[in-house]
Structure 1
Amino acid sequence: MNKRFTGEQIIGFLREAEARLPIKELCRRHGFSDASYYLCPKPSSLTMARSSVVGP
């Protein structure tokens, strides 16, 4: 199965949602359903923190 979005893109979507962008608007902009947003597993805050750290 081909994935449509990369991990970096998904993290970007989640950050936009955290910035108070309405979920329906976020989904419309990026071309996926709001049901898909709510069904996808969300990374933990630890994963988000690790992905934003640059370096070893």
Structure 2
Amino acid sequence: MSEQSIYTWKKRFGSFQPDDVRRLKQLEQENARLKKLVAERDLEIEVMKEIAAKKW
């Protein structure tokens, strides 16, 4: 790990308490899960549009 990485980490997370770091990780995980759900929903919508276009 480079010194610059350490300074960047300290700048970003230096004032965080352990509970804040845990909450941030939880929010990042939830955000990733929601992004996945939206991507899957968008894919389903596209498939439905293709199916509907072929029937007409």
- Name the TM tier (shorter chain): under 0.3
The structure in which a higher percent of residues are helix is 2
> Based on CA coordinates, which of the two structures has the bigger radius of gyration?
2
Q: Which has the higher contact order (CA 8 A, sep 6+)?
A: 1
> What is the TM-score of this pair, normalised by structure 1?
0.26
> What is the TM-score of this pair, normalised by structure 2?
0.26
